[in-house]
Amino acid sequence: MTSKSFVVLDNIAKRWAGQLGVENISLDIPQGAFVALLGPSGCGKSTTLRLLAGLEMPDEGKIIIDGNDVTGAPASKRNLSMVFQSYALFPHLSVAENVMFGMKVRRVPRAERLEKLRDVMEMTGLTGYEDRKPNALSGGQRQRVALARAIVAGQKLCLMDEPLSNLDAKLRMSVRKDIKKLQRDLGITVVYVTHDQTEAMSMADMVVLMKDGRIQQIGTPDQLYSQPANIFAAEFVGAPPMALIQGRALPGFRDDFSIGVRAEKIDLAETGKGRLKCQIVDCEFLGAETHVGLEHELAVGLTLKLDGLVQKQVGEFVEIGFADKDLHVFDKNGCRVEFKRDEQGVST
């Protein structure tokens, strides 16, 4: 734990009937940070959030929030707010009543409740919707009500469990910006669970990538993209995923290495001058660019990004090139290794 840590998870473990939930989860989160717990379904990210919230109790380890050991404390004693995937709004209450419900339970004076309501309605763009019931709101508006309710709680820590997964793509982008702006303006610490790498990469200061109940990598979005710690991180972060080439396909690399390369680092090469000869298997136009899928017997996931609309014939053979400086090397266990060329051109 550092002196600047606001939230600390120290070697947390949770198991059910001997089955792994999460293991060896250690995190130091500074105050005011936006942290995304990212990973596929079943990786342990929601379990980690529930342990932090006090909705589950750890079998091992310690949880500290704002200097207080809350490992065994109930959720009500942890001084945090939560935003759920399901919005969790009372259907029979108006927007204003939903937002003020927690304050009413805590017996906040009516004048203070109304003042906070006015402020948060303006902040979340909900002014004028105070008297509406949740069923008269769009999905994005309902999520804003849930955000408003979390904001008026006045807690310095807010936990969010896949809050945007029920929204369509356009709304997700809009509400994503709202959440990030609110977090920045209020200076609160956010721990945000998502399986969507776009959400994690665009919103978070720090990303915690998880798999099978364990942390795979912690870092900034750029670090996860540019310096993946292992093959899982390389393939999970980035769209399209990083391509992987067997070491024996490239002269100078060990046979048991896997060589990773991002699509934007691959170029078309003149005949006879490329590093790999591949066959085109698909061509996908995405507006600003065209993704050309390539096949090679010693590689998986090869994709070539070309600007604008480019017509390529499926079945055609092309040669591709890439620079050594843009390659990522992984050992036989899938872990990242640093490499350089020696005088004989062999990578070490």
**Amino acid making up residue 269:** A
Whether 5 shows a pLDDT value over 50: the answer reads yes
* Helices vs. strands in the chain: H and E counts, helices first: 8, 20
**Amino acid making up residue 339:** F
**Amino acid making up residue 7:** V
**Binning pLDDT at 50, 70 and 90, where does residue 1 land?**
very low
Q: CA 86 → CA 83, 164, 167, 214, distances in Å?
A: 9, 9, 11, 26
Of residues 323 and 252, more confidence is placed in 323
The edge-to-edge listing of strands for the beta sheet with 19-30 is: 19-30, 5-16, 60-65, 68-69
pLDDT digits (tens, 9 = 90+) for 209-232: 999 999 999 999 999 999 999 999
What pLDDT does residue 342 have?
56
Q: Is the dihedral of CA 15, 17, 20, 23 positive or negative?
A: positive
- The label of the residue with tokens 């702006």 reads 181
pLDDT digits (tens, 9 = 90+) for 47-106: 999 999 999 999 999 999 999 999 999 998 999 998 887 777 889 999 999 999 888 888
Average pLDDT taken over every residue of the chain: 90
Cβ-based neighbour number of residue 189 at 10 Å: 23
- Report the topology of domain 240-337: OB fold (Dihydrolipoamide Acetyltransferase, E2P) (2.40.50)
Dist. CA 47–CA 12, nearest whole Å? 11
Whether 345 shows a pLDDT value over 70: the answer reads no
What pLDDT does residue 125 have?
83
Range 318-323 average pLDDT: 95
* CATH architecture for the domain at 5-232: 3-Layer(aba) Sandwich (3.40)
Q: What letter would DSSP give residue 164? A: T
Strands 317-321 and 276-285: antiparallel
Q: Torsions phi, psi of 235, nearest 5?
A: -85, -30
Of residues 246 and 101, more confidence is placed in 246
The dihedral region occupied by 153, where left means phi > 0, alpha psi between -120 and 50, and beta the remainder, is alpha
What pLDDT does residue 348 have?
52
Dist. CA 148–CA 216, nearest whole Å? 33
Range 236-247 average pLDDT: 94
pTM: 0.88
Contact 87, 43 (CB under 8 A): no
Dist. CA 288–CA 121, nearest whole Å? 38
List alpha helices for the chain, DSSP H: 45-53, 95-105, 110-123, 139-152, 169-186, 197-203, 221-226, 231-236
What pLDDT does residue 347 have?
55
What pLDDT does residue 165 have?
79
Dist. CA 203–CA 196, nearest whole Å? 11
Could you give the angle at which helices 139-152 and 169-186 cross, rounded to 10 degrees? Answer: 20
Cα R_g (the chain), whole angstroms:
24
Whether 2 shows a pLDDT value over 70: the answer reads no
- Describe the chain by its helix, strand, coil percentages, rounded to 5: 30, 35, 40
Whether 310 shows a pLDDT value over 70: the answer reads yes
Whether 147 shows a pLDDT value over 50: the answer reads yes
Domain ranges of the chain: 5-232, 240-337
pLDDT digits (tens, 9 = 90+) for 161-187: 988 877 777 778 888 888 888 889 889
**Amino acid making up residue 84:** F
Q: Torsions phi, psi of 200, nearest 5?
A: -65, -45
Dist. CA 226–CA 230, nearest whole Å? 12
